[in-house]
Structure formats: structure tokens, C-alpha cells
Structure 1
Amino acid sequence: MPHTPRILWTDDEIDLLRPHVLFLEDKGYAVDTAANGADAINLVREQAYDLVLLDEQMPGMDGLETLTEIKRLRADVPVVMVTKSEEERLMEEALGERISDYLTKPVNPSQILLTCKRLLERTRLRQESTAQGYLQSFGEIGHAVDTARTADAWVTLYQRLVRYDMELQGDEGARQIFHDQYQKANRAFGQFVEDRYADWVATDRSRDDERPLLSHEVVAQHVLPHVEADDAPVVFFVIDCMRYDQWQMLRPLLQDRFDMQVDFHFGILPTATPYARNAIFSGLLPRDFVERFPQVWAGEDTEHSRNQHEELLLQQLVKRHRMQLNLRYDKLITTDDGRSFAQSVHNVTQHDLAAVVVNFVDILAHSRSDSDVLKELAPNEPAYRSLTRTWFEHSWLLEALQSLAAQGATVVLTTDHGAIRSLRSSKVIGDRETSTALRYKYGRNLQCDEEDAVFVRNPETFGLPQHSLSTNYIFAKEDFYFVYPTNFHHYENRYRDTMQHGGISMEEMMLPVATLTPKSRA
């Protein structure tokens, strides 16, 4: 049965308002009444209310005193103050979010009804409106998926899909339709990348307007121009494994301090830290990076062992651009690292360019894969996004960014790759030398279902290092993950519904580059 909203109306002349109470009850609300603040508090203590209507001027305990006690008992209940005059302090109370609204006496039934609907049903009405808007746009979005031929078209489509993904709540039917369409879009995006990626790698971006900015071009395009043009210090953040939808959750927490310009770059393949983040800091494709810095690439092939030289790579990149800069580099892995950075963030602005790698979001993605508790807290995409926002809202990183805004620093914030919730397995066959990642593999004589993956027989064409003459690469498309035939069902179940990266999907490849300019400099 649908929930019947329950209202508490407190007024010392409540008997005179009986017609208004009956009117609300006729409209489907359950209304309790109280003639004074003490009775209202007792009712709130015993009963959960969806809304409280509260007279400001009552004998004994007045409205504001009653409000304070109600909020102590039920901090989240919306309270509408009913007053005889529009006083400035009531507006201040509303702005301070102690009250949700106020009404001036005499009130009429329609006025009360509209206020109740707005406060009690706005979520449902907004959800219904969003679902209706999406269903009306279904055909248009489908056409956009079928006809997207450029990177810009895909970025525009992806932004639209993310907006619906974040807003489309409450209507399970509409969400299922959306899920199917989103999956179709990711399938088409995989084909788009398979068809175009070799051309992107082979073509200079200045000669092809339709070619997207790639990872290795981010610093030259979005960071160094600010160092040259701005008098202010520039701080470059790379938040490992941050998707665009996660950025959209963080953005509102920064908008009061910064003006923001958000662009996109496409993550290089594989969309994994050893490749993508080295590309960002070196300004080179993996193929050229390995040729120029073989000592960096040598050694154990793990997620982070090949990312220990990013400061050196950035120095070399700046040198190739014939710039002499006072550089600083920080890699923040633990919470203690982050707190220490935030406490001394004033030192960061003493450099022309500071680069900061933040590992927490990547740790969150991997921890969700390994922890039943985190998987319970974030069982789906909306919950995963909310978990990211909760961390950021109370994090040292937000504190540091606020401090940088106060110091007038320009902040460029991006990521090396995103991640996708991997839900479907795909069998792969390789020898014992094959790499171990779940969304991409390289090795000799790899075999897999080519419907599920992009198969790269000539790594050179994808800007990738060729470890031997017979090296192949495969990249999982959509939400597939690779599993070997041996103990297939065990590993299929183990890795299903984990956050993975390295393959080809909208989430992993279309990445925000946000330029944050402090409003204090405007």
C-alpha cells in the first residue's frame, strides 16, 4: 500500500482551523493536531511525522522554542512555520534550513495544500517527471546511439545518459528500459572505439578536429597553458579511477568556491594505471614511453610498480616543452598522507606547478570488489556514487581544495581512467605468460569470443608496446570480464559484480578534465 503522509499541525487556535484539517484529510493526508508546544513535542516523540505545521506565536512555549525541541528529536522532519508577519529572522531560519518554509496568516486551504504537496511529494513528482521525460526522449536517444560518428557526439550522448542515470529513480520500469538502452550504447561505443582508435593514435590532433584529446595530451593541452598564462600557481590533481558520474557528485561541493570549466579526454588503452597514468605524466603513448624509458617499464608487472617514476616523467615532459618550472609532486595513498597534505597545502602554492595523485577512489573501487560490507553499502551504481560523495564531503581533499581556492590557485583536476561494474564473463585462453588483469590481457596466442572483446594483433597500431613478435592484446567491451576455462565457475562467481578497468566502455574511457578557477579572483 502507498504510504499516507502524516502531518502534525500545532496552533493554539487549532479548533478554528478544523475546516482546513478536514480539507487536508479529504486530500489523502493523515493529520494530527496539538494546541501547544508541549503537546506537539510529546506527539513528535511518539510518532514519526512527514511534516509539521507550527504556529510561531503561542502562549507558553512559542513556535521557535518548539521548533528547537522538535529538531532535536527529529532532525530530518520538514517544519513549516505559520506566522502573522514576514520577519527577516524567519527567512534566515529558512536559509539556515531549520525550517523548510513559512506561511503568513491568514492561511487558506489551497495555500496549505500546495505547501504540503511541494514538501511531501516533490521527490515523487520529480521522479515521475524525469521518467516521463526519459521515455519521451527514448527514440531520440536511440537515434543518437545509432548515428554517433564523432568523439564529441559520444561525449554529448554520454553526458545525457549519465544525467538520466543519476536522476531516474523510483520507477523500476523506466530504469530497466534505461539499463537496456545504456547497455546498447556501450556496445555501440565499443564498436566506435574499435573502428577509430588506430586512426587516433596515428593522427596528430591538430590535423583532425574530430579526433579526441587522449591521455598523453592532457598536460600539454590543459595544464601547461595555465602555467604560462596565469600569475597564480597551478595545482594538477589526478584522481585515480574517477568516473564522470562520480565527478558530477563532487562538483556541487566545489561550486561555491570555484568557477568550473569541464572538458573531456579519452583514456588510452588499456584503461589501467600503468598505461594511462604514465601516459598523462610522460606525454607519451605506451609504445613510445617504453622505448624512451625502458628502465621504468622493466620489472614486476603490477598495478602500481610501474608508476613509481611519475615525478621524473613530468620533469622530462616539461623539459621537452622548453619550460623551466619549479615543480612539486605528491602521491597520496593513505588517509594520513592526505591529512598531512591538507595541513601543509600552503606550501604547494610556492611552486609554479604542483602535481598530486590521489589514490582513494581507486582503493574504493578495489575494496568494493573485495569486501562484502562495501558491496552491501554500494550494491548498485547510485549507491556507489553516493559512497564517493560521502567520502569527499568529509575528506581532506575537499579541505585542501577549499584552501587552494582561498589562496587563489588554479586547479586542474582529472583522472587516468574510470571503472565499470563487470557483470558478464567471457572465456579467454592464453599461456602462463599472459597478463592477469580482468578487463585486458596481453600475451601470445590469445583466444576469446571476439564479440566480447577488441582483438589487437598488431600492438603498434594501437600505440602499445610489443613484448615479443607474437604479442597480442585483447580489451573487454561493455561489462565483460575475462575468465580462464580452468575453474571457470569459481572465478566467474568470484569476480562477477566487481569494479574493474582496463577495457573499453564509456565509463572507463570518457573522462572529465575540470579547470577550477577560484571565485575570489573574479
Structure 2
Amino acid sequence: MINGLLLWVDDEIELLKAHIIFLEKKGYEVITVSNGADAIEQCATQAFDLVLLDEQMPGLSGLETLQRIKEIQPATPVVMVTKSEEEDIMNQAIGSKIADYLIKPVNPSQILLTLKKNVHRREIVTEVTQSGYQQDYQQIAMQISECNNFTDWVEVYKKLVKWELELSSAESNMTEMLIMQKEEANNSFAKYIVKNYLNWITDLSDKSKSKATDRPLMSPEIFKSKVFPTIDEGNKVFLIVVDNLRFDQWRVLSEEIGDLFDIEEELYMTILPTATQYARNAIFSGLMPLQIAQMFPELWVDEDEEEGKNLNESPLIQTQIERYRRHDKFSYHKINDSNAAEKFMQQLKNLEQNDLNVLVVNFIDMLSHARTEMKMIRELASNESAYRSLTLSWFRHNVLSEVFKELAHAGYKIILTTDHGSIRTTKPTKIIGDRNTNTNLRYKLGKNLNYNSKKVFTIKDPRQAQLPAPNLSTSYVFATGDDFFAYPNNYNYYVAYYKDTFQHGGISIEEMVVPLITLTPKKR
């Protein structure tokens, strides 16, 4: 078995016979040439797994040869072999995208190491990653079965996301095993929510009670527990709410801004339903949805109304500031498209006099919906890994990456969070409702709903969950795991259309356990 085809270019190639024999014994085929012109000719006729290139040669220099090779085989790693470490030469070589460099005299173990790094890296990473997950699998399974509180679930979720990212980058065939373990985790998580959720809401809504020690931080508490204390510490604060941002997506984006900020990472629990109308309004108001509807009826929009459900966010922030008898000066901005983004960037300098600036970014939610509706987007984001990759590509080329750079330079403390996450739905579950039943695929509210009670979490008295009830007989029904609701009418078409789409509104770790990040600019 051949481990790889190598090209070694050196004007003293005859002195390297021992090295070449060593590589051949290790399973490599080595083609040798003594000058740049012959190297270029070889590269024009066949593809190599790696090129070892002498920097100092008569005729075409190593750097000139490097440039020509890169024109012919841009993806082939080239390792520069040099007698000197002159800064100018090394800068030029690195600028020409060498994969590595070795200093003469080279020894066989150095060459073997550079081959492992540049030819066999993917296989080695895959092997080590798969071995690591196999060793961790049983421990994670035990942790899932023993989860008693939110802290336990956070630890499990972090481990699952860690392996999801590592296995996807290693292109491992063990991803299916991880998917099954996530499914197991979500089944147990749903039982945890069913058992505890209404007690948490009672505790959250009753101001006479102190916070229960095992209750997670929840949507209405974000300002009180995180935003206001950060302002009170004397910081200029930016609250950035990226709609529909899951923890795995945050982890990918964090690598892009890690050199700008010190990162403090927390996770919190969203309220139900995990939908913008409920969860985001709860963040901005500091209230549960029923409290908003009762205290500020002009700011609450019922499900069956045509009006946009998130048009009153700025007034809701104002009500929360006033309820806490604060006098924070704040701004509110929303970015839905590139025009809004450019307009926001133009105003950025004028926001420095505010105590708080709130920015809502809707791209990921729009991407999720576009993936459902558009075949091309569905193919671009065909799986979880591709969905994260598309999110990362958007961030790199979007004005938001510039916003982070500007805010770091201006010394803002950033609180980055989301209102809810999403889950890739795969299993339809039938439900029957009247024409006034809402359209969301992960939760339903209405009268006389008919469903399989073993597969859902039902709240028959919405007041217990601090949710508005348009009618006396209204109940809320939440899908769990990766289920989605489908009507019996036109069932097959409906299932085929919505299966394997990213949805939110229901109960899953991905929807309910979401990032709450504090970013402090690094001192330069």
C-alpha cells in the first residue's frame, strides 16, 4: 500500500539517498529532481500528495519554483527546505502559502512529522476523534440517565456539541451514533421539562418567593440578572440578540471573534413556546407573556391577529427599565437585511452616549425559514454541519463581523444571546384542530385539539404557564424530541415538505438551552 506520492526537489539530491530509502520503507513513493524546471514539468504531468522543495538552487530559485508549482497544483502542500532562517525569505515563503518548512540538515523523523501534519492529518484526526468519542460515549449515556438539574443538562449538552463539532470536522462515520445519543438525551430532557416547567414558572412569577436553587435562569430574567448589573458596573453595554442562534452555531462563530474578546460563556433556559413572539418579548419586557398581555395589552399581539408579533420590542424594553425605576438611556435597532445593516453601521458612532444599545439580528431565523421554503437553500444546508457552515459564511461576509470589530475597538461590553434555538425535525405526529389553530409545527394552541398525548407536553390551563388564552377552553400542546405536527388532511404532502427542516417552538435541548455570552474587549 502506497502512503503517498512525494516530489523531492534538491540540487544535491544524491546526498539524500538515505532519507529517500527511509521514506520508501515507510510506504511512500518518492520522485526526485535536481532543479526547479524539472519540478515544474513533473507537477504538470501528475498530482503529488506533497512537495519537498529546496530553497537555494541554481537556475530557478526555490521561491520562483514554489510560485509556479502553486499555479499548477494550488492545493498540494509544499514544504520548504532551507539552510537559513532569514526573515525576508521566510516571509516570502509563508506569503506564498508554504505548508511547512524544515531547516537543513533534516532528519528522517522531522520529515515523517511534516508528512503526518500535511498528508495524513485528516485520517489521524478522524481516528483520534472517533476513539475519543467511543471512550466518552458510555460516560455521556450515564450522565444523561442521571441528570437531575439544569447544570447537569448543560454539561451533557456541552459534551454533545463538542463531539458534534469534532466528528463533523473529522468527517467521521460515527455521526449516526451521536445522532442517536442526542435523540436519547432529548427524550430524557423532555421528561425533565414536563416534570419541572410549571413549578419554575410559578416560582418565576411569584415575586414573594426567592429563586428556587435548582431553577435555571430564564428568558424574563436576562435584563435583571445580566444586562442591568453590567451597566451598573460602569460599562458601555451592547445587547445583541441573534434570533434562533443555537449553542453549536455560537461555538462556530466564537472562533471568528476569539482574538477580539475575552469570552465568558453561560447557557440559560428559554420559556415555552420557544418562539419569537413569546421568548423574545419575555426577554425585553422582563415578564411572562400573560403578564405582558394583562399589564400592557396594547403591546401584546395574539396568535390569531394579523399584526406582526415582534413590533413592540423597544416599548417593552422601556417598560422594564421603568419598572425597575432605572433611568438608562437606550437605543433599539433591528437588522433584517443588508440595507438595515449599512444604515446601522452609519449610526454606530452616535450611540456612545447611551447606557445600553440593543441590536436584534434576524438572519439565522430567516435562513431557517428559507431552508424550508427554498430547494437551493435546503441543498446548501443539507445537514447540521452544512447549516453551521452556512451560518459561519454569512457571519464572515456580513456587516455583523464588522460590528464586533468596531465595538471591540470602542471598548463596549457585549452581551450576546438569543431568544430560542431550533431543531431539525424528522418525525411527524398527527394533530387535529379547528381553523383557528396556529400554524407553528412545534406547538399548537386552540380548542378541542386532538393528538397522541404520549408524544406531547400539554398545558390545559395556560395561566399555570403564564400564557395568554384567547378562549376559556384554549390549551397549548408542545412537540418533543424531533417531532413535528402534521394534519391528517393532505398528510403525505405535508410530511414530505416539512420533514428534515429546522423548526422551533417546542421542547428540545437545542431549542431551550441557549447561549448567554459576555464579551469583554481584549486589552491591546
TM-score interval (norm. to shorter):
over 0.9
TM-score, length basis structure 2 = 0.94
Match of residue 466 from structure 2: 463
Contact 1:257-1:519 within 8 A present in 2 as well? yes
> Residue 491 in 1 paired to residue 494 in 2?
yes
Aligned with 1:228 (options 208, 211, 232): 232
Match of residue 14 from structure 1: 13
Contact 2:237-2:355 within 8 A present in 1 as well? yes
Match of residue 389 from structure 2: 386
Secondary structure at the counterpart of residue 514 of structure 2: strand
Match of residue 115 from structure 1: 114
Summarize deviations over 1:24-70 as a string: whole Å, max 9, x none. Answer: 23323333333222332333344333322111111122112222333
Write out aligned runs for 1:21-100 (5 A): 21-89=20-88, 92=91, 98-100=97-99
For the structure 1 residues 10 and 150, does the alpha-carbon distance in structure 2 shift closer, same or farther, using more than 3 Å as the test? same
How far off its partner does 1:120 sit? 1.6
How far off its partner does 1:478 sit? 0.6
Match of residue 244 from structure 1: 247
Summarize deviations over 1:256-276 as a string: whole Å, max 9, x none. Answer: 111110111111100011111
What is the distance in 1 between the residues matched to 2:39 and 2:212?
69
Identify which range, 119-128 or 85-94, moves more after superposition: 85-94
Matching residue's letter, 1:175: T
Identify which range, 399-408 or 62-71, moves more after superposition: 62-71
Match of residue 177 from structure 1: 177
What is the distance in 2 between the residues matched to 1:302 and 1:8?
70
Summarize deviations over 1:395-431 as a string: whole Å, max 9, x none. Answer: 1000111011001111111001111111110000111
Secondary structure at the counterpart of residue 499 of structure 1: strand
What is the distance in 2 between the residues matched to 1:194 and 1:130?
35
Summarize deviations over 1:289-333 as a string: whole Å, max 9, x none. Answer: 111222222466479811001011001111111111221110110
Contact 1:131-1:171 within 8 A present in 2 as well? no
For the structure 1 residues 463 and 29, does the alpha-carbon distance in structure 2 shift closer, same or farther, using more than 3 Å as the test? farther
Matching residue's letter, 1:185: A
Summarize deviations over 1:8-35 as a string: whole Å, max 9, x none. Answer: 2211222332342333233233333332
How far off its partner does 1:138 sit? 1.5
What is the distance in 2 between the residues matched to 1:439 and 1:132?
36
Contact 1:349-1:409 within 8 A present in 2 as well? no
What is the distance in 2 between the residues matched to 1:364 and 1:513?
21
For the structure 1 residues 321 and 38, does the alpha-carbon distance in structure 2 shift closer, same or farther, using more than 3 Å as the test? farther
Write out aligned runs for 1:98-497 (5 A): 98-169=97-168, 173-204=173-204, 206-230=210-234, 232-298=235-301, 301=304, 305-497=308-500
Contact 2:126-2:172 within 8 A present in 1 as well? no
Secondary structure at the counterpart of residue 267 of structure 2: strand
How far off its partner does 1:337 sit? 1.0
What is the distance in 1 between the residues matched to 2:323 and 2:4?
66
How far off its partner does 1:91 sit? 5.6
For the structure 1 residues 300 and 511, does the alpha-carbon distance in structure 2 shift closer, same or farther, using more than 3 Å as the test? closer
Contact 1:423-1:480 within 8 A present in 2 as well? yes
For the structure 1 residues 24 and 492, does the alpha-carbon distance in structure 2 shift closer, same or farther, using more than 3 Å as the test? same
How far off its partner does 1:356 sit? 0.5
For the structure 1 residues 502 and 260, does the alpha-carbon distance in structure 2 shift closer, same or farther, using more than 3 Å as the test? same
What is the distance in 1 between the residues matched to 2:489 and 2:182?
32
Secondary structure at the counterpart of residue 454 of structure 2: coil
> Residue 502 in 1 paired to residue 501 in 2?
no
RMSD: 2.1
Identify which range, 442-451 or 20-29, moves more after superposition: 20-29
Contact 2:457-2:477 within 8 A present in 1 as well? yes
How far off its partner does 1:78 sit? 2.2
Identify which range, 13-22 or 125-134, moves more after superposition: 13-22
Identify which range, 15-24 or 425-434, moves more after superposition: 15-24
How far off its partner does 1:107 sit? 1.6
What is the distance in 1 between the residues matched to 2:433 and 2:398?
42
What is the distance in 1 between the residues matched to 2:258 and 2:307?
33
Contact 2:302-2:470 within 8 A present in 1 as well? no
Identify which range, 124-133 or 417-426, moves more after superposition: 124-133
TM-score, length basis structure 1 = 0.95
Identify which range, 202-211 or 265-274, moves more after superposition: 202-211
Matching residue's letter, 1:104: I
Summarize deviations over 1:88-108 as a string: whole Å, max 9, x none. Answer: 446646776822221111222
Secondary structure at the counterpart of residue 168 of structure 1: helix
Secondary structure at the counterpart of residue 245 of structure 2: coil
Contact 1:90-1:102 within 8 A present in 2 as well? no
Gaps of 5+ in 1: none
Contact 2:304-2:436 within 8 A present in 1 as well? no
Secondary structure at the counterpart of residue 119 of structure 2: helix
